[in-house]
Amino acid sequence: MGDGRTARHGQRAAFTEVVLHIHHDQCASHASSVGRGLNEPGHDTIRRALATHEPQQTRKRDPEQMSSQHRPRRVQAVTTRNATFQRWQTLLSNRTKRNRAGEMVVQGVRAITLALDSDLEVRAVLATRSEPRSRWADEALASAEQAGAECYLVSAELMQELGEKEHDAPELLLVVAIPPDDLSRLVTPRDALYVALDRPSSPGNIGSIVRSVDALGGNGVIVTGHAADPYDPKALRASTGSTIMTPTVRAPSVPPVLDWVARTRAAGVDIQVVGTDEGASRDVWDVDLTRPTLIVTGNEHSGMSAAWREACDVLTRIPMGGHASSLNAANATAVILYEAARQRRG
């Protein structure tokens, strides 16, 4: 028993960057069936890593009907901290390189499922070399491959690092293209509800606010100034997938956002800018939030900048009880979003 494990471990170490040509239909019908294409000598280890059970029947497609996305693709095995693995690590840890690559790592079942259902470009799917996989993982793997993603088999140890999990390795991870920072992506219906974050310093707060915007009927989030990155893995995890589905745009400063506000008003949507400030004189329930609204939440420590304060049509506060003078940025924004949702429901 021990000798068999040692032999298998030796085989795994030998296949650092093995490139395997597979047929899309095999991967799409069941992720484990990729192994049927691996008949070359020495591929037993990788075949066992992929296989779970053989499907009873494989539907054949007419080759003339296969698009470029449905042609044979390749699966790469990554078992060492090679250049490919290091590139994935930088997407997690290095903001500059993440933005230069225009890619983010998506972790978690809900976020991965949403990404596969979204319009975002899924560039790679990473699967842990283990068996058996869950039904969800098999279906997600097939969906990613159908979308044209590159497929990688990654050792459990490396997947645990990339998944940033303490005790076990995730079944799947995705590498997804970051959407463009273009304010024209933000649609402005007559009941538009947006949040602008002024120089937020906490990725977790950004993710939590995006989650609240998604949950309470908002249309999107604008992150302005020198701020934490909404595509930081901490922000993505805090949003529990909402960043995938909620338009989030980064703006370098306040003026581009005010230009967007002006264009929105010129198009017939009279959007108001409502700033949150503990020293304001109007309570939040006294402000008409049924109008199209852009809520501005200031920095966690210094509040709103002078530029945002001057741009606000209304300043409002959340009345405090007890000894606390204020709520943190994520909680305060959630309270105001909830009040907007309450008013809009009549």
Name the residue type at position 345. Answer: R
> pLDDT tens digits, residue range 300-327?
999 999 999 999 999 999 999 888 888 9
Given a contact cutoff of 8 angstroms between Cβ atoms, the answer to whether 122 and 147 are in contact is: yes
Query: Before 132, cis peptide (omega within 30)?
Result: yes
Share of the chain above pLDDT 90, in %: 73
Given a contact cutoff of 8 angstroms between Cβ atoms, the answer to whether 300 and 202 are in contact is: yes
pLDDT at 212: 98
> pLDDT tens digits, residue range 224-253?
999 999 999 999 999 999 999 999 999 999
> pLDDT tens digits, residue range 58-115?
333 344 433 444 444 678 999 999 999 999 999 999 999 999 999 999 999 999 999 9
Separation between Cα atoms, residue 327 and residue 310, nearest integer Å: 23
CATH code linked to domain 183-344 = 3.40.1280.10
Residues forming CATH 3.40.1280.10 domain(s) in the chain: 183-344
If one counts every other C-beta atom within 10 angstroms of the C-beta of residue 304, the result is 22
Token pair belonging to 199: 């120089």
Residues forming CATH 3.30.1330.30 domain(s) in the chain: 2-55+67-177
Token pair belonging to 127: 């699967």
Given a contact cutoff of 8 angstroms between Cβ atoms, the answer to whether 296 and 276 are in contact is: yes
pLDDT of 144 higher than 90 = yes
pLDDT at 73: 60
> pLDDT tens digits, residue range 330-344?
999 999 999 999 999
Q: Which fold has domain 2-55+67-177?
A: 60s Ribosomal Protein L30; Chain: A; (3.30.1330)
If one counts every other C-beta atom within 10 angstroms of the C-beta of residue 313, the result is 14
Separation between Cα atoms, residue 19 and residue 43, nearest integer Å: 11
The mean pLDDT of the chain is 84
pLDDT of 271 higher than 60 = yes
Given a contact cutoff of 8 angstroms between Cβ atoms, the answer to whether 303 and 339 are in contact is: no
3-state secondary structure the chain: CHHHHHHHHHHHHHCCCCEEEECHHHHHHCHHHHHHHCCCCCCHHHHHHHCCCCCCCCCCCCHHHCCHHHCCEEEEEECCCCHHHHHHHHHHHCHHHHHHHCEEEECCHHHHHHHHHCCCCEEEEEEECCCCCCHHHHHHHHHHHHCCCEEEEECHHHHHHHHCCCCCCCCEEEEEECCCCCHHHCCCCCCCEEEEEECCCCHHHHHHHHHHHHHCCCCEEEEECCCCCCCCHHHHHHHCCHHHHCCEEEECCHHHHHHHHHHHHHCCCCCEEEEECCCCCEEHHHCCCCCCEEEEECECCCECCHHHHHHCCEEEECCCCCCCCCCCHHHHHHHHHHHHHHHHCC
pLDDT of 3 higher than 60 = no
pLDDT at 120: 97
Given a contact cutoff of 8 angstroms between Cβ atoms, the answer to whether 59 and 33 are in contact is: no
